[in-house]
Amino acid sequence: MRRLLAVDKEGTLSRLHVRIAAELAGVSERTVWRWLADGRRGHVEARPRQDGFSLSDALWEVLAETGGNVAELRRRMLQARGAGVLARWGVECVPSLATLHRVIKRDLRAGRVLEVVRPAGAGLEPSGYDRALADLGFTDGAGGPSVVDGPVTDAFVAEGGQGAADTGVWGGVRLYVPGARLVSTRQVASVVEAVGHTVAARGMCCVYGDTGLGKTVAVEQALHLLPGRVPVWRAVVGVGPGLPQLRAALCEALGLPSGALTHRAGPANEALIRALAEPGVLFLDDAQRLTPPLLDYLRQLWDAPGCAAALVLCGAGSERALARAAALRSRVLTWHQVGRLDAAGVPQTLSLFHPVWAEADPADLARADEQMAHGNFRTWAKITSHVYAARERCPDRRVDRDLIEQACARLGPYP
């Protein structure tokens, strides 16, 4: 508020300033205008709104690690505040236990999913087809990150027959830099296990988490490791789709004549049910775009007698979308939240991701991760792209703190 009042005194205050302040404070623009009016009368300190505290995704992960124990979560927050590292969880204060209980209940009622049970490993007893899927996994003996199948540009081919070196993407995800390698981190390996379990059981799986954490890459890797005889159908969900658009996307993914069936609900539904009677996997990315009626349509397809396909839904916020469709939500076999990169493993992961990081100081990488990347792999891919470009312009330049800070500055205020 003091900064807004200073801008107001200079005569340059605009609605954009107010909108940004409202977004940062988590209130409406009208509230900020009211605070400004109070500030002009000398009441500078604005009263925060009730229930203004919110649980960040990092704290939500800590809550899941504690098994949903709110008291233990608060104890860890107090310990982090004492150590001066509370800000790494995206909060500046430790609220009361009652406030934490109230905020967590509010988020759960809004559809936020708390994953307190992790997959315990391949403890299934399937045979034949199911056994091959249940045995999926590719972590090394030490459980750390490892390179998968060499360089992405050599090992994988993007859709349409073009290599990643030509398209700059793998599995629909932009790589930003030549020579990047797909790295099997703990997060990727856990997604592979979750998807493999779901496919073996022919159930439904929801992979969710913040944007840029590698959800799509991890799911694509899991699908890439399936036996070749298991068909994988990838449906592309548009923005704000209606039922005809979703039906057309499913028909196209399953190789059905979508043009002839899109607006013929009866024949299209029968064709989809027949196609889904074959064992396979249907993968829908950006599932958060689907409204409850569309999700219920998927539920009806999977409830049809003889359905033998597995359904994998993925996307940032997909767990909240599914929570609004109670019938489908109750049928989801596996909920898997993708977390951020472990801070301690960032140097090793980056050195495997691209050779440009081979000689970088781990302390410089840890500092950049704490201040800019925050364990987000997409952000690190962007930083890698800028560092790689700088090295191409000046091959003798070392990858030191100055170069990393210069690359981070290119990401702007919203990395």
> What residues contact residue 362 under an 8 Å CB cut-off, 6+ apart?
347
Q: Is the pLDDT of residue 130 over 50?
A: no
Q: Give the range among 133-142, 185-194, 341-350, 396-405 with minimum mean pLDDT.
A: 133-142
Q: Is the pLDDT of residue 195 over 50?
A: yes
Domain residue ranges of the chain, discontinuous segments joined by +: 2-40, 57-109, 129-145+185-337, 343-409
Q: Report, as an integer, the average pLDDT of 145-160.
A: 38
Q: Is the pLDDT of residue 331 over 70?
A: yes
Q: Give the range among 213-227, 286-300, 304-318 with minimum mean pLDDT.
A: 213-227
In contact, 182 and 217? CB cutoff 8 Å: yes
Grade residue 334 by pLDDT with cuts at 50, 70 and 90. Answer: very high
Q: Is the pLDDT of residue 49 over 50?
A: no
Q: Report, as an integer, the average pLDDT of 129-157.
A: 42
Grade residue 170 by pLDDT with cuts at 50, 70 and 90. Answer: low
What pLDDT was estimated at residue 46?
44
In contact, 288 and 318? CB cutoff 8 Å: yes
The structure tokens listed for 220 are 């694509």
In contact, 261 and 247? CB cutoff 8 Å: yes
Buried b (16+ CB within 10 A) or exposed e, 71-94: eebbebbeebbeeeebeebebeeb
- In CATH terms, the fold of domain 129-145+185-337 is Rossmann fold (3.40.50)
- Over residues 79-95, the pLDDT tens digits come to 888 888 888 888 888 88
What pLDDT was estimated at residue 300?
92
What pLDDT was estimated at residue 387?
92
Q: Is the pLDDT of residue 27 over 70?
A: no
- Over residues 287-310, the pLDDT tens digits come to 999 999 999 999 999 999 889 999
Q: Is the pLDDT of residue 229 over 90?
A: no
Grade residue 12 by pLDDT with cuts at 50, 70 and 90. Answer: confident
Angle at which helices 265-276 and 243-253 cross, to 10°: 40
Q: Is the pLDDT of residue 143 over 80?
A: no
Rounded Cα–Cα distance for residues 377 and 367 (Å): 15
Residue 123: is it exposed, middle or buried by C-beta count within 10 angstroms (0-12/13-18/19+)? exposed
Higher-pLDDT residue of 391 and 139 is 391
Across 85-99, 164-178, 252-266, which has the greatest mean pLDDT? 85-99
Rounded Cα–Cα distance for residues 57 and 290 (Å): 22
313's enclosing H/E stretch is strand 310-314
Q: What predicted TM-score, i.e. pTM, was given to this entire model? A: 0.61
Q: Give the range among 10-14, 212-216, 341-345, 365-369 with minimum mean pLDDT.
A: 10-14
Higher-pLDDT residue of 403 and 98 is 403
What pLDDT was estimated at residue 11?
79
The Cβ of residue 241 has, within 10 Å, a number of other Cβ atoms equal to 17
Higher-pLDDT residue of 384 and 26 is 384
Residue 35 phi, psi (nearest 5):
-65, -40
Q: How far is CA 407 from the centre of its chain?
A: 23
E strands along 141-294, which residues? Answer: 146-151, 169-170, 173-174, 181-184, 204-208, 232-235, 281-284
What pLDDT was estimated at residue 297?
92
Q: Is the pLDDT of residue 128 over 60?
A: no
Nearest-CA neighbor of 93 among 134, 52, 57, 45? 52
